[in-house]
Amino acid sequence: MKLSLSIVLLLISFQFGYTQQTTTISGQVTENGSNLPLPGVSILIKGTKTGTVSNSEGQYKLNLPAGQQTLIFSFLGFESKELKVNGSSTLNVSLSTAANALNEVVVIAYGTAKRSNYAGSVSQIKSEQLDNRQVSNISSALQGLAPGVQSVSSSGQPGTTASIRIRGIGSINASSDPLYVVDGNPFSGDINSINVNDIASVSILKDAASSALYGSRGANGVIIVTTKSGKNSTDTQISANFSTGISRRAVKDYEQMSTDQYFESYWLALKNKQLTNGLTDARARSIASQNILTDLGINPYGANYPQPVGLDGKITAGAVPLWNDSWQKAMEQNALRTQADLSFSGGTDKTQYFISGGYLNDRGIALGSGYRRYNARVNLTTQAKNWLKTGLNISASNSKQDYPMSEDSNTANVINFSRSIPSFYPVYVRNDDGSYRLDANGQKIFDFGDYRPNAAIPRSNLAATVGLDKNEIFKDNVSARVFLEATILPELKLKTTYSGDYLNSNTNDYANPLLGESAETKGSISRSNTRTYSWTWNNILTYEKSFSEGHHLSLLAGQEMYKYNSKYLSGSRQRFGLPGLYEPDAAAQLNDFGGFSVDYTLLSFFGRAEYDYKNKYLLSASLRSDGSSRFSPQSRWGTFWSLGGSWRASKEDFLKDLPWLSNLTFRSSYGAQGNDNIGVYYAYEALYRINNNLGENGLVTSRLATPDLKWETNLNFNVGFDFGILKDRISGTVEYYNRRSKDLLYSKPKAPSTGFTAIDANIGALQNTGIEVQINAIPVQTTDFRWTVSLNASHNKNKITDLPQNNLISGNKLLRVGGTIYDFYLREWAGVNPANGDPLWYTDDANGHKVTTNNYTLAKQYVQPSALPYLVGGITNIFNYKQFELSALLSYSLGGKILDNDYVALMQNGSNPGAAWSTEMLSHWTPENPNTNVPRLTTDNLGWTQASTRFLYSATYARLKNVTIGYRLPKTLTDKIGLQNLKFTLSAENLLTFYGHKGMDPEQTVNGATYYRYPAIRTFSAGVNLTF
Amino acid sequence: MKSYIRITLFAAVLTLVFTSCKKELTTAPTNAVSENQVYSSADNIETVLNGTWAYMNDTFFTYANPGYTTILRTSDAMGDDVAIITNKYGYRDAYQFTQANNQTRLNAMWTILYKVIDNCNNIIAKTDAASGSEDKKAQVKGQAYALRANSYLNLATYYQFSYLKDPQAKAVPLYTTPTVGSTEGKAKSSLEEVYQLITSDLNQAEKLLAGYSRPQASKFKINIDVVHGLQARTYLNMGNWALAAEKAAAARKNYPYMSSTAYYNGFNELSNEEWIWGHGQKPDQSNASYTFNFLDVSSSSSYYYSFMADPNFKTLFDDNDIRSKLFSWDGRPGREGYLRYAKFKFRADQTGDIVLMRASEMTLIQAEAAARNSDLTGAAGYLNDLRAARKANLFDVTGKSKEDVISAILIERRKELWGEGFSLSDILRTQTAVKRLSYNDAKGDPLQVSITTPDGTVKTVAAKQHTTLKFPDGSPFVPNSSYYLFNIPQSELNTNPNLSN
């Protein structure tokens, strides 16, 4: 319909073109600066759908109807221009590139600022950088896009978020998560509920000047998400996106032994154990051959080979495994990802609106996992009176996450399960000859493996039960921000904003009564519900005035209150009478019911003053005082502040005339921010946890009194400069920071014999220093081809500068002055004793010399490198050729270590029969192979898989996060069919990974620990985006 | 609107805002209470005793470490008569004497015992000042003394060799006052000091609980009988035979032996007439019941069934003995040829009460004390008292030496108390070695046994037997080996610099 209408319009304009009074207008479009002709520029007569496109020389010609005097010139990557013809017949135009960082408006605390005269350190990510990404939430999209940001997606499970660390780790025990601010107010909802396609920009506030105004909660940086708003336009703009794709594992899992290799190796372990027990070699061989099948519980070689491993330790001649089942394959599913979004935006002078709706369905690669979300948003602002403005942003989302257990050592972990069972245990029940046993309906029967040894998870077959069981998380999130802004005097404004975030999270864990572990107990169900409501109400007064001779003053004063309430309920029942019933009522036995709630309040007062002179010199200062309900009345108030200044040197007379320098601005700031997020909400009284006993009230000590516990403070120094050269063909920012955290909120370990394992204390100081570089360049720009490159790199050095007692050991890490907070502290692997195959570790003898021992408990822990990388960042390349666009984002993380405990599960020395075995175990010690890094096999636990440097691997990696090829239909074509824009894309997420330790997904947690995580997934998808 | 109206409006809003109360900043937890609310009255203090008890018994560290039962299971796994299925989760490292590598377990046991001590220290220190009847205060304080003594008795038993070997040996640190923020880890005290505290605590408890009458259904509460039982155990460890016998007699006087039927009921009922002390379980408080997944070798709902009996253990019973009927050779897939001793069974709701002290243990203490005091006839009398209750052949003392009698009593302890947590403590106490024998024919091949598979087929398979017959370094089992001792966890070594001072 739209198409035919356009054709009619075209026809009309052609038909009547000659009869009406028309003038012809022509000219050339060039690029500002280079003066190269710009082809393909769209030229539209304002208020009509009539227009043309510049030719290869940048020239255009257009018939202009009477009364139509304004032309709009627009071209991708350039700023649009609207020009009046004013009766002339020639109009030459030069367009400037749009990416002019200087005039960029950045969102900052309680307002916006022009990048060019802002003293704080802010990185901004715009919606175009997020458009092509196949990610479900903003935290997963930030990796590699902004300097100073370390983003780690430790789980590939759809619907999970990434951990974000801004400028290093500022706390030891208190949270190091940044504060999320959405549309002006702190956000406590589910970050997954925000549709990435609704986001207009993301600002990352990194230094004191930018984030101190969020004083109480800005210590770890602030991420400000601003959603799209409507624009003043006559037509409502409708935009639709659709993409669909398929996911796979991004990296392959650890390689495992074949059945033959496994049987021969385990035979040897059995034999060696019997030798230890004092038996003769012949007896030991015979017992090993006899016992291997009972230990492993199965004979994959069939009944014809009752003793498949002979006395020589080799597979009997002729014996071949009758099956070789991949549990990994059995535990995978077709992972489809579909996303569809529709939005409407528009408005008048007074009222603007943005309305959107979205759908996402992301099935994970692991059986039974997935994420489905519906979301809707309305953003509305209106100028009610000339002095009164009001607005409402409201968003709602509903999601269901199918979350079969992962990130857990539990055997029901779908990732771990598929890795734990060797391939000689069949997925489906087999007959002795290896053929499938079929049920009455001719169907294969899942094998639950009653006979499997414990390591191979007997009586369980998740491939069968994951579909029957349910592990669901339902989330409903409603977030609203409403404001009223009154102009009291022209310079004086009062804005009051109320925001509420409501999140209801409901989990349902149902174990079926028919098959698997829960069958004996007839199934079980547990439900939990967490209802969280938090609100922020702030009142902000601003005064802004320009004085004569270029003085400009801006003042802000405000008050804010934040309340958080979370109510938790859970219950469980077991014993379902009948299958097909999924609600608790259907289960006969009540197992548990409980719940509690949590309250948290913050009250804050704050102010900021900014002064600038001729846009050249700028000074800013802020002060904020916060009271937190976490601390005792006498120590709950903390005061935070910042000072900052900037100097736009390129505006000075002595630099003004340098032709190659388009911008040079120096900035610096210093200030303090706070952190009260110690993880508990009541951090001052001695507490007794409620622990009832058999119907009687019970209490047990849980916390020691800490009346003096107070805010952790972050002192943040930042200095840097922004530059632009060759008319901003090359631009960038270089910054240095020194972030010192003092009075760290720390759970100081106590001797467990005192009855407490830790006490909360403000102890020690931590320092993060770093350099961040961001460079944007356009190395090539011709008429048809444009190459944009954007590169960022951040180096951070984390250092503990003070501790009340040196050498605090926390698990596998050591905290010490001069070290980082994630320095591994491990027993040092000294290799395998070539004489007897024992594992060896180092220890110190009486004289302090390093000697080896085969007794793990006698081995000494030594300081090892840190888990933290020394350089993280990303490189984005965008190539535009005519209507094509190719973009690639490579993110990297260099340095750091990971202790791979997942791998350890595949490295037992024979003490855990039936446990899957890595191929590396084949290089175990034997008298013939004395020089190796894997000890001898025996069924005794040699303790060698315990934490040591043996399993410490490099964490360096690079990942091609995203590659997208896009094709945009030429304007001439889209105009004809009545569309403003039509674009097709093919994209790949996590396309390639470059790393060292095969099998381990290099993207693990920030502290370098693995924990049976859902691996990263690679998604290929195709999409279409249209606007009309 | 005129600007003065706007200014008025603005002033009104500001007033509203700044009066918003600061008192909102004081919040309170809902699943914990502040200490100053706790110690006001004796009734409130009793909740600390309840909570401590629940903590001690029902705290999971991992599934293999469910509360206090962890210590009991470890003790049996390290002894003679349980042949752990080593491909099962749980206690294989204890069985193989490699538990020093299991920091989770070491940490669990240590933490449980000392957390209980600190809670008891609070009760003992703060009860006198609280309101409430003197009876109630005596009860609460007496129970706290006894519970503290139980923790220290465990520590003295498993973290150092026998008191009779060297009373001056440094064992574990002693704490007798409530821990506060500034409390530091203490140095190890000698066994003598630890036993002094235990006996003095139990004497206090004995006095304080003299008038306390325990509700029949609440055998998880400590009464004077439990105190006497703990005293009997303590004096047995210390070699004070007369007192051990006297207290054991006092402990069991209200508890007759259970019937044969009750013996077959699965050792899961607190109401069992023979139980002096135990811990109750319900579907909503069932963490301790998880231990039945290891102990229960016959219920199909048992998850690990790893506590199989050593076939040589079966030979200790005569056929008349009601206990011998609990043996059967397992015929189920994956477990063919294992010897089940079906003493422990889950209840239908997957729970089971935990037995902590029974009359027959007291009888055996009386017997052993008498024998060690050279009263062989008396000793045989007590022994046969129990044997008669189990319908076993009686012991004929004629011509038996003191060693013979003691040996018979120790064997009876293994038979009667199997799976109740006495194996390792007896080995340490008597300064003997672990004895694990193979179950083979003359040629050295495993003896064959007849089993019935679930589909009814009868077949002959090799009997499953002990798989660890030596220490991990290949050396033979010897008395007083450090392999028998529980190691102090790394977390304590890391945080307590005073420990070895």
Q: Give the model confidence (pLDDT) of A355-413 as tens digits.
A: 999 999 999 888 889 999 999 999 999 998 888 999 999 999 999 999 888 877 777 88
Q: How many domains does one find in chain A?
A: 1
Nearest CA in chain B to A755: B115
Q: How many CB atoms lie within 10 A of CB B295?
A: 29
Of A596, A600, A699, the CB nearest to B27: A600
CB nearest A752 (choices: B3, B110, B280): B110
For residue A85, give every residue at least 6 positions away whose Cβ sits within 8 Å of its Cβ, in sequence order, or none. Answer: A23, A25, A64, A69, A70, A71, A91
Residue B330 confidence (pLDDT) = 93
A516 touches chain B (CB under 8 A): no
Enclosing H/E stretch for A1025:
strand A1017-1027
What's the gap between Cα B226 and its chain centre? 14
pLDDT computed for residue A375 by the predictor:
93
Residue A174 near residue A710 (C-beta atoms within 8 A): no
Comparing A150-164, B176-190, B349-363, B415-429, the range with the smallest average pLDDT is A150-164
At B6, is the pLDDT very low, low, confident or very high (cuts 50, 70, 90)?
Answer: low
SS3 call for A195: coil
Query: 3-state DSSP call for residue A883?
Result: coil
Instruction: State pLDDT tens for residues A515-544.
Output: 877 888 889 999 999 999 999 998 999 998
- Mind listing the pLDDT tens digit for each residue in B71-103? 999 999 999 999 999 878 889 899 999 888 788
pLDDT greater than 80 at residue A87 = no
Interface residue A19 vs chain B (CB under 8 A): no
Gap between the Cα atoms of B443 and B441, Å rounded: 5
pLDDT 10s digits, A590-605: 999 999 999 999 999 9
| pLDDT tier, B9 (very low <50, low <70, confident <90, very high otherwise) | low
On whether residue A42 sits in a domain, the answer given is yes
Within 368-427 of A, beta carbons closer than 8 Å to B belong to 385, 387
**The pLDDT value given to residue B362:** 98
Domain boundaries, chain B: 35-487
* CA dist., res. A87 & res. A107, Å (int): 41
Tokens at residue B63, please? 């599934």
Is the pLDDT reported for residue A7 higher than 60? no
Mean pLDDT of B288-292: 96
**Span A978-1005, mean pLDDT?**
88
Q: Which of A824-828, A924-928, B452-456 has the lowest mean pLDDT?
A: B452-456
Question: d(Cα A880, Cα A785) in Å, to the nearest integer?
Answer: 6
If you average pLDDT over residues A453-479, what whole number do you get? 89
Whether A1005 contacts A152, CB under 8 Å: yes
Tokens describing residue A230: 């409507």
Mean pLDDT of A234-256: 89
pLDDT grade for B17, boundaries at 50, 70 and 90 = low
**Distance between B238 CA and the closest CA of chain A, angstroms:** 24
Q: Was domain B35-487 assigned CATH 3.30.70.870? A: no
Residues A854-881 pLDDT 10s:
888 789 889 999 999 999 999 999 999 8
Look up the ipTM and state it.
0.92
Residue with tokens 């631009």: A731
Mean pLDDT of A333-358: 90
A16: confidence class by pLDDT, cuts 50, 70, 90:
very low
User: To probe the interface with B, which of A493, A593, A693 has the most B CB atoms within 10 Å?
Assistant: A693
Per-residue pLDDT at B153: 98
Phi, psi (deg, nearest 5) at residue A1016:
-60, 150
Answer whether B25 touches A (CB < 8 Å): yes
Mean pLDDT of chain A: 87
Q: Would you call B87 and A455 a contact, using CB atoms and an 8 Å cutoff?
A: yes
Asked if B38 has any chain A CB less than 8 Å from its own CB, the reply is yes
Lookup: tokens for B249 = 């007699």
Helix, strand, coil share (%) of chain B residues, nearest 5: 45, 10, 45
Q: Does residue A829 lie in a domain region?
A: no
Q: Residue A354: pLDDT above 70?
A: yes
Is B36 an 8 Å CB contact of chain A? Answer: yes
Give the pLDDT band (50/70/90) at residue A33: low
**Residue A460 zone, left/alpha/beta (φ > 0; ψ -120 to 50; rest):** beta
How near does any CA of chain B get to the CA of A407, in Å? 16
- Could B286 and A591 be called an inter-chain contact, meaning their C-beta atoms sit closer than 8 Å? yes
Model confidence at A801: pLDDT above 80? yes
Which pLDDT belongs to residue A360?
93
A565 interfacial to chain B (CB closer than 8 Å): no
Give me the percent of chain B exceeding a pLDDT of 70: 96
Give the pLDDT confidence score for residue B5 in this predicted structure.
Answer: 67
Would A419 be classed as within a structural domain?
Answer: no
Q: What is the mean pLDDT of residues B257-281?
A: 95
Residue in chain B lying closest to A275 (CA): B474
Among A1012, A1026, A1016, which Cα is nearest to A904's?
Answer: A1012
Domain, as residue range, for A37: 2-95
For chain B, positions 219-238, list CB contacts with chain A under 8 A. Answer: 220
Higher-confidence residue: A795 or B13? A795
Residue A256 pLDDT: 94
Torsional sign, CA A196, A201, A206, A207? negative
Q: Shortest Cα distance from A940 to chain B (angstroms)?
A: 7
Predicted confidence at residue A34, as pLDDT, reads 64
- Tell me the pLDDT band of A169, cut-offs 50, 70 and 90: confident
pLDDT digits (tens, 9 = 90+) for A91-106: 888 887 655 544 567 7
* A790-801 average pLDDT score: 93
Q: How far is CA A889 from the centre of its chain?
A: 15
Q: Does pLDDT of B307 surpass 60?
A: yes
DSSP reduced 3-state for A964: strand
The domain spanning residue A30 has which CATH number? Answer: 2.60.40.1120
Write out the E strands in B209-362. 275-279, 307-309, 327-329, 339-341, 354-358
pLDDT at residue A222 is higher than 80: yes
- pLDDT tens digit sequence for A937-969: 998 888 899 889 999 999 999 999 889 999 988
A295: closest chain B residue by CA: B87
